[in-house]
Amino acid sequence: MTIPGQIPCHIGIIMDGNGRWAKARGERRTHGHLAGLQAAKRVVKAAADMGVRYLTLYVFSTENWKRTTEEVGYIMGLVKQYLRNELEFYRENKIRLRHAGDPAGLPPDIAAEIKDMCAATGQYSGLQVVLALNYGGRDEIIRAVKRAAEAGEDPCAASETTIAQYLDNPDVPDPDLIIRSAGEYRTSNFLLWESAYSEYYISPVLWPDWTEKELQDAVLSFQKRERKYGGMMQESSGHGSVSGEYRKIKKRSANT
C-alpha cells in the first residue's frame, strides 16, 4: 500500500484489547491472543508495504508475568510459533528481526530462537521489526545504566547521549509515532526513554481487528501533526526520515 506524504520512520505499537475481543465473543482470552497474532502479521506486512523503516511491537511486558500461568505459557507458545513460521516471510521481504527487552528473563528456548532469527535476518535492509518481549521501559533504562557502569562510564559526566548508547537498540531512531489500540490512554512502560517526543495515536479498535486500514488511519493522523520538539515549528526539508529531522534539530540546539 502506498500512501502520499511523509511516512513515520519508526512506529511503536501497544497491541491492546485481545482479552476484550475474546470476551465479546464468549471465547477464552487465549483465543484473543491468537487473533492478535494474525493482526500483528497483517500490520507487519502493511508497514513493510508502506515503507516504514522500524516497527516496534509490544508483545510482552515485564509486568505481563503477573498473568495466569496458562496465559503466559500460551503467549510464549505464540511467540515461538511466530518465530518459526515467519522466517520465510522475513526472508522474502528482506525484513530484519530485532529484540528489545531482557533476554535473561525469557524461557531459554525462546531467547535462543529470537537470537537465531535476529542473526538469520541481520543482513536484511528492509523493514526492521523489533519485538518488545520481556520489555519494560524502566527496566531498559536500569539495564542501560548498569551497562554504562560496566563499560567504565563516569556517572558524573553522564549525558543523554551516554545513556542512549546503552539502550537495547541504540542505533534504532526514537519512535515518531506510538499507536495504542483498544482505546486506552496509557504508556504502560513502553519505550519510556525513546518516546520523549513521539506523537501518540489512540484507536478504539481492538487489536485483533487491526488491518492495514487502521495503520493507514494512524499514519494519516500523524501526518497532520505539527512536531515542535519543545521549540518552534520547523520547516521540513522534504526529504530524509522524520527521525533524521529530529537529530538535525538536536544537533543544532546542542551547538547553540
Question: Of the listed 49, 64, 93, 217, which one is catalytic?
Answer: 64
221 binds ligand FPP (CB under 6 A): no
Of 14 and 242, CB closest to ligand FPP? 14
20 binds ligand FPP (CB under 6 A): yes
Q: How far is CA 58 from CA 21, 137, 150, in A?
A: 18, 11, 28
40 binds ligand FPP (CB under 6 A): yes
Nearest to residue 87, comparing CAs of 95, 75, 79? Answer: 95
Pick one of 59, 110, 172, 179: the residue that binds ligand FPP (CB under 6 A). 59
Nearest to residue 47, comparing CAs of 136, 179, 237? Answer: 179
Select the residue whose beta carbon is closest to ligand FPP and give its number. 19
Nearest to residue 135, comparing CAs of 91, 168, 108, 96? Answer: 168
Cα–Cα distance measured from residue 158 to residue 145, given in angstroms and rounded to the nearest whole number: 10
Pick one of 48, 75, 76, 97: the residue that binds ligand FPP (CB under 6 A). 75
CB 113, CB 80: distance < 8 Å = yes
Q: Smallest gap, in angstroms, from Cβ of residue 194 to ligand FPP? A: 19
64 an active-site residue?
A: yes
> Taking the mean position of all CA atoms in its chain, how far away is CA 111?
18
Q: Determine if residue 238 is left, alpha or beta; phi over 0 gives left, psi from -120 to 50 gives alpha, anything else beta.
A: left
Q: Smallest gap, in angstroms, from Cβ of residue 5 to ligand FPP? A: 27
Binding residues for ligand FPP restricted to 173-192, rule: CB under 6 A: 182
Pick one of 18, 30, 62, 203: the residue that binds ligand FPP (CB under 6 A). 18
Q: With CB under 6 A as the rule, give the number of residues binding ligand FPP.
A: 18
Q: What angle do CA 194, 238, 50 make, to 5 degrees?
A: 65
16 an active-site residue?
A: yes
57 binds ligand FPP (CB under 6 A): yes
29-37, 88-96, 154-162, 215-223 -> range binding ligand FPP (CB under 6 A):
29-37
114 binds ligand FPP (CB under 6 A): no
Q: Which three cell numbers stand for residue 204?
A: 478504539
Of 95 and 242, CB closest to ligand FPP? 95
Q: Annotate 53-102 with DSSP letters as a single string.
A: SEEEEEEEETTGGGS-HHHHHHHHHHHHHHHHHHHHHHHHTT-EEEEES-
Q: Smallest gap, in angstroms, from Cβ of residue 129 to ligand FPP? A: 8
CB 60, CB 36: distance < 8 Å = no
15-23, 97-105, 162-170, 191-199 -> range binding ligand FPP (CB under 6 A):
15-23
**Footprint on this chain of ligand FPP (rule: CB under 6 A):** 15-20, 33, 36-37, 40, 57, 59, 64, 75, 78-79, 82, 182
